[in-house]
Amino acid sequence: QYIEWMPQILYNHHQTGPAGSVLAGPPYRDPFNYVYDPLLVTSLDGIGAAMNSRLNREGKPGYTQRSGSNYSTWWNGGLRTTAYFHNMIGILTEIIGSPTPSTIPLVPSRLIPNMATPYPVTPREWHFQQSIDYSVSLNYAVVTYAVNNKEEVLYGIYRMGRNSIENGSKDYWGLSPRHADSITRASVAGARGARGGEGEGRAQGAPVTGGSGFGNGGMATKFYDQVLKDPTLRDPRGYIIPADQKDFPTAVKFINALIKSGIAIHKASADFTVAGKKYPAGSYVVKTAQAFRPHVIDMFEPQDHPNDFQYPGGPPVRPYDAAGWTLAYSMGVKFDRVLEGFDGPFS
């Protein structure tokens, strides 16, 4: 997979579903990982709607999505989630049922139709054959979606790959919670300066909140420029893994893991210099101008999971799985981030 096999859609059947439902499926709850192409996220919406709608047409209730389950699209490591970092539509359904008959329990909150569960299932006895029937319907829904949208699905994976190559070939600032927080802090600092007679006044410094919901509100765009046009905050054009680091064999293991996940790797055939620093022959180079750029970024950069709380000041919403996992860090690999375009004696 990711080298010889490039599926546009990957479907993982799993069990079991959340209590009071039959199954959980796409689209999933926030957060999704910010390195994804937005087309990937909306494609999950489209195929999820096709799956849910088919069950509804067949009179099969109990499909829950989004906030109806704890499954998100944040982490990198599952059968369907690693596909996201390779521009592929990964699907997971978690369905109830086993050879032993069971009962769908009564969960009153599940009986209220909403965007998470448009067609609730009522308490009833459940047999394994019903789970099989649901799974067959879902398979048909996915295949029918792929057939009816063949050109869009094929073009979609191409477009996402091309976007990745383009973003890795230019100055690019990825959006993330830390950047949004930096903009807010800059605005607050500007407001304080204005009150102290050192700023440019409320219109330029203070954050504007509230508004009627029809386009009012916001803050001065100069604070956006301070953060998301700051050249030091650009995404890297590439990474260099020096061959003279102490534990180079572990760095090679890391490189092999990238190769197995479809990442293009370069190796220096001679000594070279980038950004004033000299590197020995045998060093590895990983450029971000490639189709699987999201996976490259995810293996080198720290994850920036949002502050996700049940309510202001309340307990955090538990992540579905791991919230941080940067492989280069966990393996202790030494590397340099390069923010400018570069080249050298690379093969």
For every one of its 347 residues, what pLDDT tens digit does the chain have, with 9 covering 90 and above? 899 999 999 999 999 999 999 999 999 999 999 999 999 999 999 999 999 999 999 999 999 999 999 999 999 988 999 999 999 999 999 999 999 999 999 999 999 999 999 999 999 999 999 999 999 999 999 999 999 999 999 999 999 999 999 999 999 999 999 999 999 999 988 877 766 654 444 444 444 544 455 556 678 899 999 999 999 999 999 999 999 999 999 999 999 999 999 999 999 999 999 999 999 999 999 999 999 999 999 999 999 999 889 899 999 988 988 899 999 999 999 999 999 999 999 99
Closest CA to 206 of 305, 217, 329: 217
pTM: 0.91
Q: Can you tell me the distance from the alpha carbon of 112 to that of 197, in angstroms, rounded to the nearest whole number?
A: 54
Domain ranges for the chain: 9-167, 177-232, 238-338
Omega of the bond leading into 101 within 30 degrees of 0 (cis): no
Collapsed DSSP state (helix, strand, coil) of residue 73: strand
Rounded-to-10 torsion of CA 27, 28, 30, 36: -70
Q: Are 320 and 70 in contact (CB under 8 A)?
A: yes
Predicted local distance difference test score (pLDDT) of residue 83: 96
Tell me the H-state helices in the chain. 38-57, 81-84, 128-148, 150-167, 177-195, 202-205, 222-228, 248-260, 293-300, 327-330
Name residue, tokens 């990474």: 239
Say if residue 279 is exposed, middle or buried (CB neighbours under 10 Å; 0-12, 13-18, 19+).
buried
For residue 323, which amino acid is it?
A
Q: Report the 10 Å Cβ neighbour count for 72.
A: 19
Q: Can you tell me the distance from the alpha carbon of 206 to that of 194, in angstroms, rounded to the nearest whole number?
A: 8
Q: Estimate the crossing angle of helix 128-148 against helix 38-57, to 10 degrees.
A: 130
Which residues, other chains included, contact 178 with Cβ-Cβ below 8 Å and sequence gap of 6+? 304
Q: Can you tell me the distance from the alpha carbon of 145 to that of 154, in angstroms, rounded to the nearest whole number?
A: 12
